[in-house]
Amino acid sequence: MDNNSVTGMLDTMIIGGGQAGLTLGYHLKEQQRNFLILDANQRAGDAWRQRWDSLRVFTPAKYDGLPGEPFPADPLSFPTKDELAGYLEGYAERNALPVLHGTRVERLWREGGHFVAASNGRRWEARNAVVATGVSQEPKVPAFATYLAAGTVQFHSAAYRNPGQLQDGPVLVVGLGNSGAEIALEVSRTHQTIAAGKPGGELPVKHGRTAARYALPIVRFLGLHVLTLDTPVGRKAAPAFKAHAAPLIRTKTKDLAAAGVRLVPRVTGVEDGQPVLADGTRLEVANVIWCTGFRDDFSWIDPELLDGGALPRQHRGVALDTPGLFFLGQEFLYAAASATLPGAGRDARYLAGKIPQLGRIDVLPMRQ
């Protein structure tokens, strides 16, 4: 189908065609709904392709499949990011999901009881709008990064591909979440490496096939069924989940120490062009990789649909003050696993049951 030919009032537009948007598309297709997925990237799976070269997912293949299609790999293996990207691309094709690629929605607003999305001079109208643009929208870098000496090579983990991007000399990896730990271990093979920060805990078992068989099913169960908005322990944990990095899963601090990575306190500023740590130490480094996470970027959504520029009041992705507006793939939308592959399917299925259908009479069929 040529998605450019979709015309008229849509039942639903999904903004973002990563795993969250595609999964919701799968369920809407099952319901024979008139919907369109608008995605900024050129190909399904690009969000994964754009991550660093050596990235392998933490979640075993048995948990990486989306509804209707298991991930085609040894269930206890950990797919590469390109295998995952290929799977998502194939998923969109095999399920004939209507995705319009290369379409970054620049504005979303409400007009006369429906939603309008605009991109590059075109506009789409729908009774329902779902924001599924992911949690890695805007790389977060401290403002003092601009004071690093001009010769310092610095970039965010979102721009990291491999150690070939670095110049000779020591590397400082700032932030000890999973990205920071994995990148620090990789660059330590070619560069003297310092990792700054404190991890938000560590998975107490070694990651790998044995963990995939015995320990990760427990982690998955906790993330899907125990730490949810429906349990007291989940409601208590939710703010911390949103605010802090996840515990280290594969690369732990002892692995970093064994690889010769120097672990130091967090970076608090820059003096004379060099990073300064919380204990006052000034480091002499040639490269800095900011593994400092991401922030939401909803600047393209009409502020009237948001709460002070942030996610509005919602329950499991259903906006409470704006009928027809939905969110998917956000951190702890319903459970600790909400923004991961194992959590994507359930949240999408729930939302698909909540998105009101257009009366048949209003539906303009998609042109083939």
- Residues near ligand FAD, by CB under 6 A: 15-21, 38-41, 46-47, 51, 57-59, 104-105, 132-134, 136, 179, 300, 329, 339-342
Contacts of 135 (CB under 8 A, 6+ apart): 294, 296, 329, 330, 331, 339
CB of residue 179 to ligand FAD, shortest distance in Å? 5
Tokens of 302: 């009409």
Give 106 or 321: the residue with its C-beta nearer to ligand FAD. Answer: 106
CB of residue 322 to ligand FAD, shortest distance in Å? 18
CB of residue 328 to ligand FAD, shortest distance in Å? 7
Give 19 or 154: the residue with its C-beta nearer to ligand FAD. Answer: 19
Give 274 or 314: the residue with its C-beta nearer to ligand FAD. Answer: 314
CB of residue 72 to ligand FAD, shortest distance in Å? 17
CB of residue 345 to ligand FAD, shortest distance in Å? 11
Give 199 or 342: the residue with its C-beta nearer to ligand FAD. Answer: 342
Q: How far is CA 324 from CA 95, 319, 351, in A?
A: 25, 8, 11
* Amino acid at residue number 228: T
Give 187 or 277: the residue with its C-beta nearer to ligand FAD. Answer: 187
Give 11 or 89: the residue with its C-beta nearer to ligand FAD. Answer: 89
Q: Which backbone phi and psi does 335 adopt, to 5 degrees?
A: -145, 170
Give 132 or 286: the residue with its C-beta nearer to ligand FAD. Answer: 132
Using Cβ positions, the residue closest to ligand FAD within the complex turns out to be: 18
Contacts of 255 (CB under 8 A, 6+ apart): 181, 185
CB of residue 42 to ligand FAD, shortest distance in Å? 9
Surface-to-core class of residue 44, CB atoms within 10 Å of its CB (0-12 exposed, 13-18 middle, 19+ buried):
buried
CB of residue 278 to ligand FAD, shortest distance in Å? 25
